[in-house]
Structure 1
Amino acid sequence: MKISIGNDHAGPDYKNAIVAFLKQKGHVIINHGTDTFDSVDYPDFGHPVALDVETGNADFGIVICGSGNGINMTVNKHQGIRSALCWTKEIAALARQHNDANIISIPARFTSIQQAVEMVDTFLNTNFEGGRHANRVNKIACQ
């Protein structure tokens, strides 16, 4: 699987742990995140991830910022993106099962690195249920 990841200054340690985990699993990673803790603007790192997923250059995306909110709002501006702000693996599973989310947003200041890795693992290994959820997901996109 090809996965695009982006983070601001709140997430280099999270990104590095997630990337190491995903590479160990054999995934290909596109890294759009910063590697420093110097203050940066999260949209600069979220938009490239959304574009990768939107254009099919990546199967899924992962975005990380302090609260998870700003970068989540950024990527959700893109048509065809359904990004879910997750803080537990149960929410990550539901985001895939019920919402067919294609990007997971992680709040670095409110989850541990281990929780983040577990959420990503759950997110990537959970399928969309379809059925009654498909009609709802189809109504999300602006026409």
Structure 2
Amino acid sequence: MTSHSSATVNLRGHTVNTGLFIGGAWEDTKKNYTVTNPSDGATIATMSDGSPADAVRALDAAVAASHDWRFWAPRVRADLFHRTHALLMERADAFADVMVLESGKPRSEAMAEFNLSAGFFLWYTEQIAHLHGTYAEGSPGGYRVIETHQPVGPS
């Protein structure tokens, strides 16, 4: 059972939501778990613990939200993902700080891990704008084959 929430925790000056984000809204759960820093054992935060039912609801919400994506032009989708990448990069310090707290790793390693992940995100973003279909004559002749690509949604 869940309820809408805006529960947050401040981690090194960064506001982090402690709930689950499902269907466009943050939710708390009845069950929580504690995140500790492995380097010193300090409690970092208490987070909502998602259940299998929460996972199914999240997947259902993602599928429902993805139905219209196939109608968006590849360039429009790519532009949105470029903006998402820019927002990620603006928040690089926050991601690295939280990674240091939750993993106990050095900040330089956390920043390198973040930059690697952001680089993968950017590479896939670039692929969105370069989706090309094909057009060919059918092997036995008499008809044409057109291949197009569209997002498949969560998988």
- Regarding TM over 0.5, the answer is no
If you compute each CA radius of gyration, which structure gives the higher value, 1 or 2? 2
Please classify the TM superposition score into its range, dividing by the shorter chain length.
under 0.3
Q: When the two structures are superposed, what TM-score results if normalisation uses the length of structure 1?
A: 0.26
Higher RCO (C-alpha 8 Å, min separation 6): 1
Which one has the bigger strand percentage?
A: 2
